[in-house]
Homo-oligomer: A and B are copies of this chain.
Amino acid sequence: MPPLRRIDVVLDSVKRLQRIGATANLLNLLQKQHPADLAEVLSGLSDAERRSTFDTLIGKNSRLAMEALSELDAEVGDALLAERPADELARLFLELAPDDAAALIDRLPDELSAEVLARMRRKDSGDVQHLLAYGEQTAGRIMNPEVFALSEDLTAGEAIEALQRSREVEMVFYLYAVDERRHLVGVVSLRRLLLVSPETPLKRIMTSELVKARVDTDQEEVAQEVANYNLLAIPVVDDENKLVGIITVDDVIDVIKDEATEDILRLAGVPADEHVFTSPWEAWRKRLPWLGVNLIAATLAALVVREFQATVEQVIALAALMTVVASMGGNAATQTLTVIVRGIALGELTWSNSRRVLGKEALVGVANGIVLGAAGAGVAWGVFGNPYLGAILALAMVINLLVAAIAATLIPIALRALKIDPALASAVFITTMTDVFGFFAILGLATAFLPYLQRGL
């Protein structure tokens, strides 16, 4: 059993204090926690305990409660907000930064979210509504509109004073310089500001070649830029180059994790938003369609086998051996597919270098087919006592592994070029395809060379 973590100790205390109704002590303990830790504690409680703990906290420290809530899984968090009236929700969302509030409001039922937005103060609601107007998974949607910008005409000393006066500005490390119409013209790092004399104009120390995102840039691209250039934040501009927001590195980390999760889950044919604590009903409802597609594909594979039923009847060993060809093809395809999809996600694989990758995968497929086919042939010969059966198994394996390599390389690359998520060419899909091909290869070959197979038996 893994060692007890600090958070587990807190979790146990929360459960105990709640059970004995020591509300003051409970609140005291809860308020000492970081929002991220609090979210973890809430996740570890039962539904009833969670609701009661959250309600206790929200009465005393609604900001902390809401910050913890926005770190929770979507389903768990939404359940805690359910059944609250619109004016209470409006008041609660005002505790959060606009980007966090927007993410939560976006998940409310349409009618309720409109009512909540209407009840939030004019300015804040405007900010949030603005964010919600951008497409999902774009820079505009995840940016914080409260960005610290200064006129390029100020001096370093004036900039420091402005910084000292500012409050509530999320993690300032870069000062963005704008012209009189708020066009983004440059950036000065906080550190640079300290190193020059106070009368130096910002214009002279700012860097005007800066990395920025547009409101409609895909969030995955934004994350790649921040990661590649080791940035702490990236400014977001509209189509006139006016500064409208900022995305900080902590949000980028969330994007990177979410995108990786999405890829991993999609490859396995799981809906991208499933978590370990998604309710069984929800998980079942969402996974079923994929398995349904798979059932159709598996039926197709079964029909291929039925087509060659006469051959299998005459050489019953084929019923066992055909499963080996299909299984090997599926696994080799999964290997190739995964390397390709991850390569695309990391930006390593582009259209221009895809031919080289196809060559590599085809070569690996054939090489694996020869070695594993030879080994399989040896076993088949040994077990069933017919060398021709072994030879057919080997040949079918080479064919199936080559087909697997080519399909698992080209399908995700083609999807990418068509702007469809390449991870949707999931392992579920590709392995069923290799089943069909595998059965076809070995049973087709067996039918063609049937006299040789019967002779040895």
**CA of A399 to CA of B417, assembled, Å:** 41
In this complex, what residue of B is CB-closest to A365?
Answer: B284
Q: Report the separation of the CA atoms of residues A330 and B249 in the bound assembly, to the nearest whole angstrom.
A: 38
**Number of identical monomers bound together in the oligomeric complex:** 2
Quick one: which of A307-325 are within 8 Å of B by CB?
309, 312-313, 316-324
Instruction: Give per-residue flags for A286-320: 1 if the beta carbon is below 8 A from chain B beta carbons, else 0.
Output: 01101110110111011101100100110011111
Q: Which interface residue of A11, A359, A372 has the most chain B CB atoms within 10 A?
A: A372
Mask of A415-455 contacts with B, CB within 8 angstroms, 1/0: 01100000000011001100100010000000000000000
When chains A and B are docked, how far (Å) is the Cα of A383 from the Cα of B274? Answer: 36
Contact A334 B268, beta carbon cutoff 8 Å: yes
Query: How many angstroms between the C-alpha atoms of A265 and B337 in the bound complex?
Result: 10
Residue from B164, B171, B276, B431 within 8 A of A331 (CB atoms)? B431
- Select from chain B the residue with minimum beta-carbon distance to A309: B316
- Report if A90 contacts B (CB, 8 A): no
Q: From A253, which residue of chain B is reached at the shortest CB distance?
A: B227
Contacts of A318 in B (CB 8 A): 319
Do A291 and B372 have beta carbons less than 8 Å apart?
Answer: yes
Which of A114-122, A137-145, A346-354 contacts its partner?
A346-354
Q: A260 — which chain B residues lie within 8 A by C-beta?
A: 256-257, 260-261, 264
Contact of A257 among B312, B341, B346, B432 (CB under 8 A): B346
Docked complex Cα distance between A173 and B248 (Å): 14
> Quick one: which of A194, A278, A328, A342 has the most chain B CB within 10 A?
A342
A108 within 8 A of B: no
Are B2 and A351 closer than 8 Å at their CB atoms? yes
Contacts A294-B327, A432-B327 given; indicate if A317 touches B306 (C-beta within 8 A): yes
Does A267 lie within 8 Å of B269, measured CB to CB?
no
Bound Cα distance from A290 to B230, whole angstroms: 36
Which chain B residues lie closer than 8 Å to A249 at the CB level?
Answer: 232, 249, 253
Q: Which residues of B contact A263 (CB under 8 A)?
A: 264
Distance between Cα atoms of A334 and B432 in the complex (Å): 13
> Which of B301, B335, B371 contacts A327, CB < 8 Å?
B301
The answer to whether B195 touches A261, judged by C-beta atoms less than 8 angstroms apart, is: no
The interface centre, meaning the residue of A280, A323, A348 with most chain B CB atoms within 10 A of its CB, is: A323
Q: Tell me if A8 and B352 are in contact (CB < 8 A).
A: yes
Q: A128 within 8 Å of B by Cβ?
A: no
Q: Residue A112 at the B interface, CB < 8 A?
A: no
Expressed in whole angstroms, the Cα–Cα distance for A448 and B195 within the complex equals 84
A135 an interface residue at 8 Å Cβ cutoff? no
Is A160 an interface residue when CB atoms closer than 8 A count as contact? yes
CB of A360 within 8 Å of the partner chain:
yes
CB distance B299 to A379 under 8 Å? yes
Q: Contacts A40-B347, A287-B364 given; 20 further ones with Cβ under 8 A? A: A2-B416, A2-B417, A8-B350, A8-B352, A163-B195, A194-B194, A226-B253, A232-B249, A260-B261, A268-B334, A268-B338, A268-B427, A277-B353, A277-B356, A294-B328, A303-B320, A309-B319, A312-B316, A313-B316, A323-B439
Q: Sample 6 A-B pairs with CB under 8 A, ordered by A number.
A: A11-B352, A37-B228, A269-B335, A301-B327, A302-B321, A331-B432
**6 A-B pairs closest in CB distance:** A276-B343, A260-B260, A268-B338, A230-B250, A305-B320, A36-B228
